Chain A
């Protein structure tokens, strides 16, 4: 029978009898991916269009006024009062704190990655401290600690000096000073350096260093001649991120700078939009050009470093080598790491707690009368404060969810479509992270606040702004999550008869969930902490928590702002730990299963 069949088969293979054709309906080739593909592409296109629209509106505003070409904006920017001082201040502060941050951050990274001073539980937490405690709250916490008159630490120092018979009226330390502002900037920049250099160290081959050590180079020589050159790309990336962050950093200069009378670019831009009447968006946009120039320069140099270092090969991924034994220095190394945690997180948090419990800020704490009820009172009795808390919380929950879903859909689309169009969309959607929150915020004010959208001072504009602003970060998380899911898994579903939407719901999404949850947690924290864009976009109508804290600070309601900050910190801690636990629990299950599945 087989033989007969085979002979038949051969004949058919050669002959060209026309095949009977029964055509399946609807066969436009573009729709092969089904409706889900069309919808994913549309979602991506919409968000890319928003970004393009923002950028175009900004650029147009720079050169046109009422439909006429006109360089008036530039003239007004150049005539802006104290422009050169403002720019100089910004550059000096960002550069000096960047250098400090690079040194300290790299040292931390080296301690954690290559030496026995590593503190395991700190590895994931170290970069998180500055996020969990809202930067503006952290900065205010340091004001509570180091204000010349009423700072808690200053009080204690004066008491200590008093025992030695030295009497001082104020100080001896002062947060409202150049060292104060630079060190605070540094504290918030260290995480970038730490993360980048850690990654660099983890990916670089430690055997090069070992070889140098064996051939007799001292620890210092090895560091200088081997480690640092290899890490140049990571350091470059860290510098880039730090510049990106530093030029638009708002929390510290707005708290410290006013009193110190040091004005910086970011604060000026926000002030022009929100705290000036009538607001001067045009000049704000003009000023933001300096910001874009700084970022562009940083990108350019980063690109050159990367090109020049292409040969600096990276080997031995993942292999863990013998850690360097520091001997007596080990304790010092660990102390340094702990001190960072204490300075950026524990001390300002304690100061906030103290002020909140006490009900007002004073150096003479009556320890017996601290009242836990005060903690809640501040935030709950102040209507504006509780509203801002609700706003921020709901915006972050909704915003993070939307951003994460959009990102998940889009990164799957990107993986499967491979078209030039999809790649272009991806590039555009990631653009907001290359620009700064200030620029995007300005874009929203210009493009959506007025006609034709009239979304000014609404909840909707804030939500949209958050989603657009954080979509790049969301897509990075989603890309990572999607990469974990083998492409054949969704192809198998497709062949099994499921269309795109069904495959997304039943296969891709469930498998991506652990990664998406981790990303969601981060987005939540970023969104509650967002300040520059929010201030410009929402103003006073829809206050968010960071803005509220700032306003209360300026009017002196310290206990209220402290309790507000503490409640948010508590929420952040809970959300991040829940995301972490959740990710680990599902993640272990499915990734464990995954691993077993691909071990074969």
Chain B
């Protein structure tokens, strides 16, 4: 057992944290996160130059990382600084393009922005329910249907799309964003997403049997979100602790009230639990326990991120309800992470499924 990060990952986290501290003050973060294009294209390129995108892909695919702990390191650092850049869409695209054997160089260098269009209005989380279809047209494949809440979709130049080939097997397609009808919008916690309307949109098939690749990409995305939440929870906790020590009412710091002290201690314990389950999930990536441990992590983190967000606001009092005070933006991100790639209930169902399988023996793991 060794819980120390490798030297490379420690350096990556430090470099990235330093960059984010210098380049994404909360004022700058909010100004880019909440107005078009809902991120900072110049700084996105700078982040790519730092190697942040390369850290998401395995060496065999042209990257310099790609393991669970690489992804967790990057996203935890992004989360601690509340970075609004569309890394989630990039990570999903990296996994899908790599599975399809595509060239990742334009994505990893930051030259071309990709987003992955998987979820649909009736199939928000479960790829098995995907209804978008591809059919052979006169000049090759064309796509029909609607993809919903595509993260980073408003600022992407290319899309990786999951759809059924001739209504059958799930396959992956690559599409130029300019060939689809895209309605982008800002998100309540910053950053952008888009509705993607496919109406005879020309598409290149990149992977004919994509069920396993999709699950793998979604697992990695969920792991990234857990790590992002852990980073954001750490910052939130530090912010709240500082406020409890400095805000005075009734002639003393509010942190001297036991009613708040105990809750602050509970939060601290729960954040450690969230960190632990995320470490467990990161360590199980690539094993046959990957999907189930990721679901465990996403469930626990979803519950705790909401708790931390609500207590962050409540224990601050009115000030954390304001736009001007950074805690409000951390609270929004922490709550809304549960709406991405499967919420607490969705992932709890997947954890439950193993217990509820008919004929489960007493010692089944």
Q: Decide if A and B are genuine partners.
A: no
